[in-house]
Amino acid sequence: MTAPTRTRIVLQGNALRRLLHAALAFACLLPAWATAQALDPARSRIEFELETRWGQTITGHFPRYDGEVVVLPDGRHEVRIRLATTSVEVEGSRRYTRFARGERFLDAEHHPWVEFRSDPYAGELVRSGGPLYGTLSMHGVSRREAFMLEPSDCARPARDCDVVAQGRVLRTNYGVESWRWALTDDVNFRLRVRLQAPAP
């Protein structure tokens, strides 16, 4: 009567060991799938510029945003950024700040985020410079865009020096069509970003 009981215990022990081995193997794979580095808000800045029809430059920035660089399992990287339109500020003008947040421009109440998600890219791109392609979502519209990365000035971009990118989008492509008599169609984005230091 006892032999079958011992057999069941051995089988259960083998199954438990296989389960533990599978769990350990899965745990070893997790870093490759979940490695992400957040942007450092204290050392990063995201700006935009608009031109008036009479040559004046209007500069604004996004004080609040979420951003990270994700390392994919194949070693390529992916940038994910969300800019809070409710916090957008136009330098030196409360009036233009209200306009930028208002329903006739970014419409922050109904579209609280501008989002960009890049295509996967090789890490070397931030050193050599070049186009970074991805999808920009703004004002309820998503479109393919490209931002140009400047060549790096240091060996560890985003750690020891800024990663600088800029790109031009047409606001009417995103349904932002008000004040066309006063403002040109171009919106020029400029980003200077660094990553947070890794946890010790």
What are the pLDDT digits (tens) for 162-198? 999 999 999 999 999 888 888 999 999 999 999 998 7
What are the pLDDT digits (tens) for 119-160? 999 999 999 999 999 999 999 999 999 999 999 989 999 999
What is the C-alpha separation between 53 and 70, in angstroms, rounded? 40
Residues 171, 153, single domain; the answer is yes
Residues 185, 121, single domain; the answer is yes
pTM score of the predicted model: 0.79
How many structural domains compose the chain?
Answer: 2
Residues 71, 165, single domain; the answer is yes
Residue 200 resides in a domain: no
Asked if the model's pLDDT at residue 44 lies above 90, the reply is: yes
Q: Containing domain of residue 113, as a range?
A: 39-193
Residues 93, 75, single domain; the answer is yes
CATH number at residue 86: 2.40.128.110
CB atoms within 10 A of CB 83: 24
What is the C-alpha separation between 82 and 96, in angstroms, rounded? 22
Is the distance from CB of 62 to CB of 34 less than 8 angstroms?
Answer: no
Strands 186-193 vs 45-51: parallel, antiparallel or unpaired:
antiparallel
What is the C-alpha separation between 98 and 86, in angstroms, rounded? 10
Residue 199 resides in a domain: no
